[in-house]
Amino acid sequence: MAKRIVVALGGNAILTDDPSAQAQQAALVTTAQQLVGFLNDTENQLVVTHGNGPQVGNLLLQQINGGSAKNPAMPLDTVGGMTQGELGFWLSNALNKAFKAKDITGDVATIVTRTVVDAADQAFQKPTKPIGPFYTETEFTAIKNEHPDWTLVEDAGRGYRRVVPSPKPTSIVEANVIKEIVANGTTLVAAGGGGIPVMTKSDEFVGVEAVIDKDFSAAKLAELVDADELVILTAVKNVYIHFNQPEEQKLGKIDVATAKQYLAAGEFAAGSMKPKIEAAVSFVEKTGKRAVITSLDNVENYINTEDGTIIEP
Ligand SMILES: Nc1ncnc2c1ncn2[C@@H]1O[C@H](COP(=O)(O)OP(=O)(O)O)[C@@H](O)[C@H]1O
Ligand SMILES: NC(=O)OP(=O)(O)O
């Protein structure tokens, strides 16, 4: 049966060890070859969202370091929009290439997307979203002096990283347009980097300096475009409980109540698997449809065998 699918792409879909434009585009070519598996059923409709944490942080640094009075650094929301263009361009090219290789007809497009957030969101008081590069201890000290207003955190023994507020999406401005376009069979890249955060002020949209979690935006978008399935693609084929412990246990098909129990029991790491489960739970509860968490490498296998972590109503 034909499905409308919203996919959220994790960092490993785009960025390898090499942050050059060439390497990121090469990674996306492979990613797109895997993504088009979702179009094996030619009636399926596909919307792809993606992260932008490394890209938005890197681009912001280029702005700050290269800025001048005549060529000022742009604010974070605008830089987020710039990464939608950057990654949407690369991903559109990669999808067109994969379509050609598999004789898939249809158009590909990227839509600059604004995601509405709430000014009262507590996330503005506590930055949590890592962006840009990792810093060594020495770099950390220098950067703290240079940018005393930045919040930097230690990230799982891998170094220090700047963090910015990551409010929850309450709505997506372009959702109706996205729904209309995807319903007509165009494969869309949308809400990249979680969407550009905006608030409404006096009936106008204004940008907000934040980076929204793409898994939450994907869930919100999937809900608003009446998707049949939310697919969150990351580096692991399955979600685990007791992850990385001797008694770790792979999760296959589970119901949403069980997912919520595991969430409450603290089974999923904050900043990595927890937001994915929360996003999946939100979509399943709001729509009665299912959400899937699996790896890019497993897309074909998931489509054929339903192997992966599936959260059902
Ligand atoms: N309970 C868990 N089950 C599976 N993976 C987990 C779990 N907790 C943390 N992880 C880690 O979370 C990672 C996914 O989060 P992250 O790398 O932030 O996602 P993204 O793909 O969006 O960049 C997995 O690759 C895995 O290493
Ligand atoms: N915006 C966002 O969630 O980006 P990452 O997935 O790259 O952190």
Q: Which tens digit of pLDDT belongs to each residue from 301-313?
A: 999 999 999 999 9
Residue whose token pair is 């054929």: 304
pLDDT at 115 over 80: yes
pLDDT at 232 over 90: yes
* Confidence class for position 257, pLDDT limits 50, 70, 90: very high
Residue nearest to atom 8 of ligand 2 (CA): 53
Residue 271 has a pLDDT of 86
* Confidence class for position 28, pLDDT limits 50, 70, 90: very high
The active-site residue out of 80, 88, 129, 168 is 129
The active-site residue out of 12, 93, 238, 301 is 12
Active site residue 176: no
Residue 65 has a pLDDT of 84
* Ligand 2 centroid to residue 197 C-alpha, Å: 13
* Ligand 1 centroid to residue 13 C-alpha, Å: 13
Q: Of 225, 227, 191, 223, which Cα lies nearest the Cα of 116?
A: 191
Q: Of 128, 134, 107, 87, which Cα lies nearest the Cα of 46?
A: 107
Under 8 Å between Cβ of 224 and 286: no
Tokens of 155: 């990230």
CB count in 10 Å sphere of residue 228 = 16
pLDDT at 153 over 80: yes
Residue 133, ligand 2, Cβ within 6 A? no
Active site residue 276: yes
Distance of CA 19 to the CA centre of its chain: 18
Cα dist. 44→3, 59, 292 in Å? 5, 35, 16
The active-site residue out of 11, 106, 185, 207 is 11
Q: What are the helix (H) ranges across the chain?
A: 21-35, 53-66, 76-101, 137-146, 175-183, 214-224, 256-264, 273-287, 299-305
Cα dist. 291→120, 175, 232 in Å? 29, 19, 8
The contacts found for 301-305 with CB under 8 angstroms, 24 or more apart, are: 303/37, 303/38, 303/40
User: What is the percent of the chain where pLDDT is above 90?
Assistant: 94
Under 8 Å between Cβ of 255 and 313: yes
Average pLDDT, the chain: 96
Residue 67 has a pLDDT of 82
Nearest-5° Cα angle at 244, 240 to 248: 50
DSSP symbol at 126? S
pLDDT at 212 over 90: yes
What number is the average pLDDT over the span 131-138?
93
Residue 129, judged by CB atoms within 10 A of its CB (0-12, 13-18, 19+), counts as buried
How far apart (Å, rounded) are the C-alpha atoms in residues 80 and 55?
Answer: 9
How far apart (Å, rounded) are the C-alpha atoms in residues 307 and 305?
Answer: 5
How far apart (Å, rounded) are the C-alpha atoms in residues 211 and 193?
Answer: 7
What are phi and psi for residue 243, nearest 5 degrees?
-55, 135
* Confidence class for position 150, pLDDT limits 50, 70, 90: very high
Tokens of 201: 């002020």
Active site residue 237: no
Residue 20 has a pLDDT of 96
pLDDT at 156 over 80: no
pLDDT at 157 over 90: no
Residue 218 has a pLDDT of 98
Tokens of 38: 């979702």
How far apart (Å, rounded) are the C-alpha atoms in residues 143 and 290?
Answer: 44
Residue 142 has a pLDDT of 93
Residue 66 has a pLDDT of 84
Active site residue 126: no
Question: Cβ contacts of residue 248 below 8 Å, gap of 6+?
Answer: 240, 241, 242
Residue 220 has a pLDDT of 98
How far apart (Å, rounded) are the C-alpha atoms in residues 30 and 223?
Answer: 28
Under 8 Å between Cβ of 9 and 34: no
What are phi and psi for residue 101, nearest 5 degrees?
-60, -30
158 alpha carbon, closest ligand: 1
* Ligand 2 centroid to residue 57 C-alpha, Å: 10
pLDDT at 97 over 90: yes
Active site residue 289: no
Residue 169, ligand 2, Cβ within 6 A? no
Residue 155 has a pLDDT of 79
User: Probe ligand 1: pick from 166, 230, 236, 240, max atoms within 8 Å of CB?
Assistant: 236
Residue 260 has a pLDDT of 98
What number is the average pLDDT over the span 136-161?
91
